[in-house]
Amino acid sequence: MSEEPQGDRPSAPIDEPPPVFGTWPRVYGFVLGYLAMLIALLWLFTRYYRP
Amino acid sequence: MTIIDWIVLFAWLVFLVSYGLWRGRGSTTVNQYLLAGKTMPWYAMGLSIMATQASAITFVSTTGQGFVDGMRFVQFYLGLPIAMVILCATAVPIFHRAKVYTAYEYLEKRFDAKTRSLVTAVFLIQRGLGAGIALAAPSIVLSVILGWSFHVTTLVMGGLVILYTTFGGIKAVTHADVQQMMFIMGSLILAFILAISLLPPDISFFDAVKLAGAAGRLNAIDASLDWNNRYNLWSGLIGGGFLMLAYFGTDQSQVQRYLTGKSIGHSRLGLLLNAMAKVPVQFFILFIGSMVFVFFLFQRPPLLFHPVEMKRVALTPEYPALQVRFDEALNAREAAARRVKGGAPVADLLSAQQQVDAVRADAQKLSHENDTNYIFLSFVTRYMPVGLVGLILGVIFTAAMSASSGEINSLATVTMIDVYQRHLHRGANDRHYLFASRLATIFWGCYAVAFANFAQGLGTLIEAVNQVGSLFYGSMLGVFVLAFFLKKVRGTAAFLGVAVGQLAIFAVAAFTSVAYLWYNVVGALVVIAVGYGLSFVLTEKPKTASG
């Protein structure tokens, strides 16, 4: 049996568009692209400075 | 430490605790106390999440890892941005819309009470162990550096944490974390600048980077696929990604942070700030360790960085011969480094470094403590200017408090919401539950101090216990994947899935040499497979979760 706990509950959430890029999926795409760029830079860094 | 350093250290502690108490004032309802009344802006959440992860032991041992092992540890965090994106798209809106205080509360809405209770128990065991270790591990290091007894260090640290966490709740914890994170970064930047400025006049920054690379300290990416290699690109992206998904998606110490957000959008932005900043920050910390390594190519390091162990080893009959070998190896290494700077091949430097490592390894056989955690602190206390030493040690001290306060706060929340309110005392008013939350915070704070003092006696077992956390995340992640994505799965199937998944992780840990990051993958996949498979066999009534 499921019962709601008593007392004060968190308020209903507000969803809103992101401040940049228009939609959240585009923001996620930007973050994943940024990760790909970081990995590429770290790989180049490793190759350039390897013994 | 000079008197000025002590004044700076205490001033910083007083400032941070006072600031936390001041910002945490007015937490007069359970919602305000546990979720800050959902008023937190995204940047405060993001910085707080980063501060909680950047515990003191991470702070000192990560720079030490950069010194000893190079930069490959940065790969551990490569899965984090992927995990943050997945959680922003799934867990954040689901938890917000379910209007829950804890992640485990959602499991009852989606499955049943027994699944919620099982996962709550797993969390309390895992985090309960972690809370003591979070105090014990940095206390061992700081007590050596500050010259305090271990018990005094844990008592001061634990007492301050209990004070501001009990009175201010999550608001005090989050606002203290924001200050903490900014001072951590400021201190690290100063340490970096100093390490570079203390290099010999003929060694430029670019020479230092070249020498670090020649000594194999700039090995940031290893793309080879090796299941037993703890840190490579694939274990970081996949194993690390699963670990981060589990940590941020199912661990109340993190879920609670993003549930304090003003809106779903603010919670998402807080996590995405972490996604974008974490890898560069870790890179920077490891890079500082590499620069400290280069600094010690030209500045004579001690045989052991641990000051107490160094004094002890110096009294052994083996010490004179070790020191002679060490001096010869250091001379050869410095000469080789200067030749590499002039364009010579790196073979001589690598060979000389092997000699240095061999002597240090022989010295560490005579010691009882891990030396890596003392490398950065030794650098700070020997070479930093007066005042800055106190500030950096203060920041490391409060970094330990930050990690501990987050854990105690989340343990208190789960104890109050998922145990006390759910099973022991239903239907009381908000004031009663607020009082119970404060009592739970005091209980877990005292428990952490007591366990830390017990854990000290475990010696090297502390590291083993520290890794125990990774034994539980896989099954916790698996059950939330079932809850979010596989609507066919009901309570009993999920419950059995968690139980079997947990046994599978224990079996992999006990009978294979698979690196621990992969436990999370194994555990999650077993829970999902068993839970989903059983959903075809068991007939249970459907249940609708809100959100």
> Shortest CA distance to B398 belongs to which of B115, B27, B13, B86?
B13
Residue A2 pLDDT level (bands cut at 50, 70, 90): very low
Q: What count of other Cβ atoms lies within 10 Å of the Cβ of residue B386?
A: 12
- Which of B222, B264, B430 shows the shortest C-beta gap to A15? B264
pLDDT of B457 reads: 60
Q: How far apart are the first and last CA of chain A?
A: 64
Helix (H) and strand (E) counts for chain B? 24, 0
Q: How many domains does chain B have?
A: 1
B543 and B112 in contact (C-beta within 8 Å)? yes
Query: Which is more confident, B289 or A5?
Result: B289
In a domain, B501, yes or no: yes
pLDDT tens profile B282-305: 999 999 999 999 999 998 899 998
User: How many residues are present in chain B?
Assistant: 547
Interface predicted TM-score (ipTM): 0.85
B249 and B102 in contact (C-beta within 8 Å)? no
Residue B544 pLDDT level (bands cut at 50, 70, 90): low
Q: What count of other Cβ atoms lies within 10 Å of the Cβ of residue B435?
A: 13
Residue A6 pLDDT level (bands cut at 50, 70, 90): very low
pLDDT tens profile B81-94: 999 999 999 999 99
pLDDT tens profile B246-271: 889 998 988 988 888 888 999 999 99
pLDDT tens profile B378-430: 888 888 888 888 888 888 888 888 888 888 989 999 999 999 999 898 888 88
In a domain, B176, yes or no: yes
Range of the domain at B218: 3-296+381-534
In a domain, B375, yes or no: no
User: Rounded distance, CA B212 to CA A45, Å?
Assistant: 12
Q: How far apart are the first and last CA of chain B?
A: 55
Q: Over 60: is that where the pLDDT of B460 sits? A: no
Closest Cα in chain A to B30: A8
pLDDT of B547 reads: 41
Q: Over 90: is that where the pLDDT of B151 sits? A: no
B343: left (phi over 0), alpha (psi -120 to 50) or beta: left
Closest Cα in chain A to B267: A15
Residue A8 pLDDT level (bands cut at 50, 70, 90): low
Non-local (6+) Cβ contacts of B384 within 8 A are: B191, B194, B392
User: Rounded distance, CA B188 to CA B192, Å?
Assistant: 6
Indicate which of B205, B272, B341 best probes the interface with A, i.e. most A CBs within 10 Å of its own CB. B272
User: Rounded distance, CA B338 to CA B349, Å?
Assistant: 9
- Minimal CA separation from A16 to chain B, in Å: 6
- Which of B29, B209, B272 shows the shortest C-beta gap to A31? B272
Closest Cα in chain B to A11: B99
Indicate which of A2, A32, A50 best probes the interface with B, i.e. most B CBs within 10 Å of its own CB. A2
Percentage of residues in chain B with pLDDT exceeding 90? 31
Non-local (6+) Cβ contacts of B40 within 8 A are: B48, B171, B174, B260, B261, B262, B266, B270
Distances (CA, A) of B36 to B12, B168, B491: 25, 9, 31
User: Rounded distance, CA B341 to CA A45, Å?
Assistant: 18
A32 to B216: CB separation less than 8 angstroms, yes or no: no
SS3 category, B101: coil
pLDDT tens profile B343-389: 888 888 889 889 998 999 888 888 877 788 788 888 888 888 888 88
SS3 category, A4: coil
Q: Over 60: is that where the pLDDT of B546 sits? A: no
B491 and B114 in contact (C-beta within 8 Å)? yes
User: Rounded distance, CA B449 to CA B161, Å?
Assistant: 10
Q: Residue B84: its chain A contacts at CB < 8 A?
A: 31
User: Rounded distance, CA B419 to CA B417, Å?
Assistant: 6
How does DSSP classify residue A23?
S
Q: What count of other Cβ atoms lies within 10 Å of the Cβ of residue B14?
A: 12
pLDDT of A12 reads: 63
B313 and B383 in contact (C-beta within 8 Å)? no
pLDDT tens profile B208-248: 999 999 888 898 888 887 766 678 888 889 888 888 898 89
Non-local (6+) Cβ contacts of B110 within 8 A are: B483, B543, B545
Cα maximum dimension of chain A? 64
Q: Residue A26: its chain B contacts at CB < 8 A?
A: none
pLDDT of A5 reads: 45
Give Cα B318 distance to the centre of its chain: 37
The residue-averaged pLDDT of B195-214 equals 90
Q: What is the DSSP string of B38-86?
A: G-B-HHHHHHHHHHHHS-HHHHHHHHHHHHHHTTGGGGGGTTHHHHHHH
In a domain, B541, yes or no: no
In a domain, B370, yes or no: no
For the domain that residue B471 is a member of, what is the CATH number?
1.20.1730.10
pLDDT of B106 reads: 93
In a domain, B53, yes or no: yes
User: Rounded distance, CA B13 to CA B153, Å?
Assistant: 13
Cα maximum dimension of chain B? 77
Torsional sign, CA B143, B148, B154, B156: negative
Q: Over 50: is that where the pLDDT of B36 sits? A: yes
Q: Which residues, in sequence order, are bridge partners of residue B261? A: B40
User: Rounded distance, CA B402 to CA B491, Å?
Assistant: 36
> Shortest CA distance to B383 belongs to which of B298, B265, B460, B444?
B298
